[in-house]
Each structure stands twice: as C-alpha cells, then as structure tokens.
C-alpha cells in the first residue's frame, strides 16, 4: 500500500488522503500548528452551496451569517475577498481545510470540484504572499479526504 509520510509542513498545496487516516492527520496538523477547518461534500450541489460550505467551514465573524453581505452577484472573487479579509484578521499562520468525501465529488460533480480546487489554489497563493508591511503571511493546505486507491493512508515516518 502506498502511503503519505507526514512529519513536516508540506510543500504541496493539496493532497489526497484516506478518510480512514483522519486521526493521524489531525494529530499531525495539531503538532505542526495548523488551524483545522472541516468541509463536507454532501451539501455541495452548485457554486453557491460550495461558497456556503467554505464559509461555513472557516466560520464567519463578520456581521450576518449568510452570503447576503456578498450581494446578489455572488462569484469566486467576491468569496475569496471575503475569506481573505476574514482569515487575515485571525492569529493563525497555518490553515488546513479537511475536505471529506471528495471521492464522491469526483464522480458526481467533477467540474465543480476542479473549479473549487483551482480557486483554492489561487487563494492559497494570495494568502502566502506577505503584505508590504510584513505583518502576516498565511500557509493554506487542503487535504482531500476520501476512499479509493488515489487516497493514500497517512503514516508517521519518524
């Protein structure tokens, strides 16, 4: 069986991990000082529900609990801007999104999944850039949890 060795902050942005390895992954993320957010595929049907899932995973401290503050013309950039403002005001330097059930999305919502992954990758790049005053820089990693041969068992290599 192929496995994913985890013992340091990864250089990859996203990787597939067996959902059965969740306890090993959570312990590793805690040891490497990642703030963990969880997202599940089951509520994601379209772009709007994807945005709700992402915002629900990271929590919202801004006024209002839904996407209404983002306006009726909800789009990828608007949600990214909202998240950017939200996450850069928090003390976390490392953020991990655990996206469970991604194996299910591969079969039923593949294009939406690919769009979301590309969007999250761009967002991770934006977060990693230090601002001009060097006041913050964030590391975002996405762990795609699922079942099947593409989802590797996470093991400690130390």
Sequential DSSP letters for the chain: --EEE-SS--S-SEEEEEGGGHHHHHHHHHHTT-EEEEEEGGG-SSHHHHHHHHHHHH---SSSSSSGGG-SS--HHHHHHHHHHHHTTSS-SEEEEEEETHHHHHHHSHHHHHHHHHHHHHHHHHHHSPPTT-----EEEEEEEE-STTSBEEE---
Percent of the chain with pLDDT over 70: 78
pLDDT digit string (tens) for 24-58?
Answer: 889 888 888 899 999 998 889 998 889 888 888 88
Whether the pLDDT of residue 103 is over 70: the answer is yes
Domains in the chain, please, with CATH?
3-67+74-155 (3.30.370.10)
pLDDT for 1 equals 39
- Which band of pLDDT confidence, cut at 50, 70 and 90, is reported for residue 68? low
């Amino acid at each position: 069986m192929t496995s994913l060795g985890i013992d340091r902050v990864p250089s990859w942005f996203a990787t597939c991990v067996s959902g059965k390895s969740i306890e090993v992954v959570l312990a590793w993320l805690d040891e490497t000082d990642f703030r963990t957010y969880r997202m599940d595929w089951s509520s994601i049907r379209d772009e709007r529900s994807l945005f709700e899932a992402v915002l629900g995973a990271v929590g919202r401290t801004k006024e209002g609990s839904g996407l209404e503050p983002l306006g009726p013309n909800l789009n990828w950039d608007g949600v990214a801007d909202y998240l950017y403002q939200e996450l850069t005001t928090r003390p976390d330097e490392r953020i991990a999104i655990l996206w469970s059930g991604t194996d299910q999305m591969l079969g039923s919502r593949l294009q939406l999944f690919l769009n979301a992954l590309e969007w999250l990758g761009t967002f991770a790049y934006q977060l990693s850039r230090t601002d001009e005053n060097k006041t913050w820089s964030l590391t975002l990693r996405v762990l795609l949890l699922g079942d099947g041969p593409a989802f590797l068992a996470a093991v400690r290599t130390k």
